[in-house]
A and B are shown apart, each in its own frame.
Chain A
Amino acid sequence: MLPGDRSGDAGPSALASRSRRSFLHLLGLSGATAVAGCSSSQGDGTSDETHYVDGTSTGTQTLNFLSVNDTPSANRIQLVLDGAYAITPEQEIFPLWADISTDEGRVYTVELRDGLEWGADYGSMTAEDWVYMITEVFQADSNWANYPTPGEWQRAGEPIPVEKTGRRTFEVRLPEPDPAFPLRPVLWGAFCMPKGLIEQYRPAEDQEGLAQDEAVQTLAYAGNLGPYTFERWERGSSFVATRNEEYYLREVDDVPDEWQNAPYFDSYTYRVVPEESTRLSALRSGELTATDLPASRVEQFEGLDDVAVKVFPQAYMTSLIYNQRANGSFYEALRKPAVRRALAHAVDKRQIVEDVRRGYATVAHTFQPTFSKWYADEAVRELGVGETYSHERARELLRDNLDGTPYRYEGDRVVDDADEPVTLDLVFAQGSQPIQTIAELVAQEYDAVGIDVELTGKQYGSIVEQHLYNSWQGDGDPPWDAGPYNGGPRDQSVSSRPWDLILGITFNTYPRTPTSIRGFSVRRGGTNFYGYHPETDFASLFETASSTVDEAERRAALAEVFGALSVEQPFNFLHMGVEIVGYDSAIRGPEETFGYSWDRNTWRLDGA
């Protein structure tokens, strides 16, 4: 885990579907007033220049987007390359380089704007560049460029056919209708490189050569394709981009006025400051224009005149995961939905949100945030709040449902068939104070219903390696295998070390394309490391939801999914996280919605 990895929960960004999505949480702008400490070094003395300086905990690893799989890198590239199109909080497509359209949800036509120019003498951006990029890099058979997510451009193991249909248009022909395709992180925010650049390395499959190419390293091919131009990158310290006077959107008339003059800052800087308390000090002193705040410091910063605190909903969910594979010490019981429901009664979600997250989180009851347009209020069953939070009730339910398992109540403690008290191993991800506190709280709550819990903190990488990865331990070959996180049937495929509960592995809930949670909820799902066997036929519901173009049908199918998940409790949904950012109070633009940063180029400094 990287130091101070975003707002805490060790690994949340890890599980983002793709950096493009999670990059949303790392934004900030700044103004002239903000750089008192820094601008002195520029020495130019022009005071009407506006700069923004965004404080982050980690630096970027590369500017070659073909290797990017981390949020900090994607953030920086985003400044210089706009990407194909953006998605507004209303889930509408906002064309940047390109627009995407379809008739029946199967064949998508992508139309590039006129006037997109590469830098470094690579000419205009055409459909030729895109088709070459997609077929020769993203879909290349040997994946010579080592593109991190080649699967996105495939369907059922086959490359998605892509064809050039004009100088600036090409078609993406899906094998099955997928009305949500534009919302998937495939073309959304996709970058491109000029064909002429890639051609130099494609024949020899020279990934190293491409990665170390001067133009790739400095994004020199970006031309007029982004609001800013690469200025310098000092590893481990800062990334600076300056306003791109040639920005193509300035010549475009189908975008709102505020886009035509974007961006409103003369430079955009990412400063790497590993220590959180130093970042916060720099925000107070005005050296940073924006940086993330921990929940415990919000009230203090709200009291400052020159800092404005904004809270943005996020799609990441913190859950308490139950081990239902055969190497748990309580797995026979945890495999029963009724037992899982009973345990959900024992944990007070409100207290976690109010006292640990200090109100900066929302209680979760199913695998979807309430702000999602697919959330189904009437179908979802709430547990662990109000009347459904009760140790007495939890005990009752547990006592009733431990029948048929080797466990029972002996007095007020749960014991196993050897009359030994049951002790559950709770493994939590280190590096986040709130996660540790929640873990201790869960131990307290479980103790109150008669179950001992032993806590172990581990680094994210160790948790994955020792507890999440599981592999077939039986004889012969497994009947099926869904990857390292789900090595086969739960009786024989187990992790290398036993565990009962895991906390701190945060899941993305995909509010835009909720069918993406399939891997978490079906028996053979690629991320079903906890060995959950659903009682509902989720597979066919997901099938319906992802292929139908009828929105009502889709809504009904998803409502059933979210309702059933809240009842079956594959794990205890605890809460949805938020992102809290402290801005220079003169910044205008950020809206407190999910996906708020899509229009960050139109943000400005008040009065500038």
Chain B
Amino acid sequence: MGLKWYTARRVAWAGVAAFVILTVTFVLLDYAPDPELARIQFRAAATGADAETAAEAYAERRGLTGPLWERYLEYLGNLATGDWGWSDTRSQPVLTAILTALPYSLMYTVPAVALSTVLGIAIGLYSAFNQYTTTDYAATFVAFFGVSIPNFWFGIVLLLLFAVQLGWVPVLFDAELARTRPLSLANARQLVLPVFVLGTSAIASTMRYARAEALEYVRAAFVKAARAKGASEWRILTRHVLRPTLVPLSTILVGDLLGIILSASYLVEVVFGIPGLGRLSLEAIRRQDTALVLGTTLVPVLVAVLGNLLQDLAYALLDPRIDYGDR
């Protein structure tokens, strides 16, 4: 019992959740109108050809023939054997598409999350220690700045300023460069703006969390005791406040990373032309590439489940008081 049983249940639940989400997505996709099919039929009708034949050929090409449940079972069967299907709108296996896009996503999200975490914690602690002062408000403003500004607007303005006017960074993201020389200075240059835009937009949540946690500790008995004993403010900050704050902060980190990669990032990727996961899933949905939509839907589910699980396990290992036996 205990941890093992808990882990097993979580993993099993992950399977169920993934299944439910996949099913709903599959059904919805089937019912949504397909603009491409409409185009093909119109073109056929306009040239005097048979629109139905054109539609059939399209359905065959896209594997849309046969009843819904049959296609779904086939998809699930393939999935079980590790075959994620073929993306018709990219002419490559879905898994390849995802694995190609993932590094581009990580390339700017990881630095962005690191940036936002460091700044978020710093501002949060500062703000907690200097509550209701002007500098607190200024720091808070910095933290809120990014989240308050629409990402796409900010990105476009930064591109106009730093890429077009000043010429410090390139406008276009060069995927070839990023792939072949990810650690080069040139790659860092083209990633600066996306990292900045995304990073600033994520500061607020980390900051808010760090601040709330720190506020609790700032007035905690042990901190007061430390202060009474003459510990320096710096020592109190790092030893007595920062450390306990960091533990639960790991929670928000996982959530942040996920939220950013999966939802906030498509705006940044569209503006900067980065061929990452966000754009992959957006275009799959727009073009109704069923296999790719399902694939890109599975990724967040898996990451979320895995992230939560790791986080729970980390807690369990770090904090012996937590008992999973009776959950």
Contact = CB atoms under 8 A, between A and B. Distances in A.
18 contacts: A14-B35, A37-B170, A37-B171, A38-B174, A40-B186, A69-B40, A148-B40, A149-B43, A149-B54, A150-B49, A235-B92, A277-B159, A281-B156, A459-B35, A461-B38, A518-B48, A519-B46, A519-B47
A238 B175 CA distance: 8
A281 B171 contact: yes
A587 interface: no
Given A37-B171, A483-B51, A236 B45 contact: no
B88 A483 contact: no
Contact of B33 (A18, A148, A288, A462): A462
Contacts of B45: 482-486, 519, 526-527
A282 B171 contact: yes
A1 B159 contact: no
B171 A237 contact: no
Nearest to A40: B186
A285 B164 contact: yes
Given A38-B172, A234-B176, A518-B48, A278 B40 contact: no
Given A15-B43, A275-B270, A464-B42, A151 B61 contact: no
Contacts of A62: 88, 91
Interface string A504-538: 00011000000010111000001100000000000
B54 A148 contact: yes
A571 to B, nearest CB: 15
A18 B48 CA distance: 13
B279 interface: yes
B33 A147 contact: no
B260 interface: no
Contact of B283 (A40, A236, A519): A236
Nearest to A463: B38
B275 A235 contact: yes
Given A211-B91, A217-B91, A281-B163, A15 B52 contact: no
Given A41-B176, A212-B86, A236-B275, A3 B270 contact: yes
B241 interface: no
Interface in B98-125: 100-101
A548 interface: no
Interface stretch (A266-274, A401-409, A561-569): A266-274
Interface string A466-484: 1010000000000000111
B259 interface: no
A152 interface: yes
B54 A271 contact: no
Contact of B48 (A151, A212, A271, A460): A151
B296 to A, nearest CB: 12
A518 B270 CA distance: 41
A275 B271 contact: yes
B188 interface: no
Contacts of B167: 285
Contacts of B286: 1-3
B49 A151 contact: yes
Interface string B276-296: 000110010011000000000
A329 to B, nearest CB: 23
B57 A148 contact: yes
Interface in B111-165: 152, 156, 159-160, 163-164
A287 interface: yes
Given A147-B57, A281-B163, A284-B164, 6 more contacts: A14-B39, A41-B176, A152-B49, A238-B176, A285-B171, A464-B42
B46 A67 contact: no
Contact of A2 (B40, B174, B287): B287
A152 B50 CA distance: 10
Given A61-B90, A217-B91, A484-B45, A277 B156 contact: yes
Contact of B57 (A61, A143, A237): A143
A11 interface: yes
Given A40-B186, A275-B273, A17 B279 contact: no
B44 A63 contact: no
A275 B156 contact: yes
B273 A67 contact: no
A16 interface: yes
Contacts of B92: 235
Nearest to B152: A275
Interface in A28-80: 37-38, 40-41, 61-64, 67, 69-70
A238 B51 CA distance: 33
Contacts of B173: 237
A37 B91 contact: no
A151 B54 CA distance: 8
Given A149-B47, A234-B175, A460-B38, A281 B164 contact: yes
B233 interface: no
B159 A281 contact: yes
Contacts of A484: 41, 45, 51-52, 55
Contacts of B156: 275, 277-278, 281
B261 interface: no
A102 interface: no
Contact of B90 (A38, A235, A459, A464): A235
B275 A15 contact: no
B181 interface: yes
Contact of A278 (B41, B50, B272, B279): B272
B97 interface: yes
Contacts of A235: 90-92, 97, 100, 275
A18 B160 CA distance: 37
B67 to A, nearest CB: 20
In the A-B complex, list the 4 residue pairs whose CB atoms are closest, starting with the nearest: A151-B49, A461-B35, A526-B45, A464-B38
B42 A285 contact: no
Contact of B171 (A152, A234, A278, A461): A278
Given A37-B170, A143-B53, A281-B171, A18 B279 contact: no
A465 interface: yes
A67 B61 contact: yes
A207 interface: yes
Nearest to B175: A237
Given A41-B186, A149-B49, A238-B176, A274 B100 contact: no
B177 interface: yes
A296 interface: no
B89 interface: yes
Most buried by B among A152, A278, A287: A278
A468 B273 CA distance: 34
B60 interface: yes
B171 A14 contact: no
A484 B37 CA distance: 12
Contacts of B44: 149, 151, 483, 526
A536 to B, nearest CB: 19
Contact of A151 (B47, B89, B171, B177): B47
Interface in A220-278: 232, 234-238, 271-275, 277-278
B91 A526 contact: no
A146 B46 contact: no
Nearest to B289: A61
B323 interface: no
B152 to A, nearest CB: 8
Nearest to A482: B45
Contacts of B50: 151, 483
B58 interface: yes
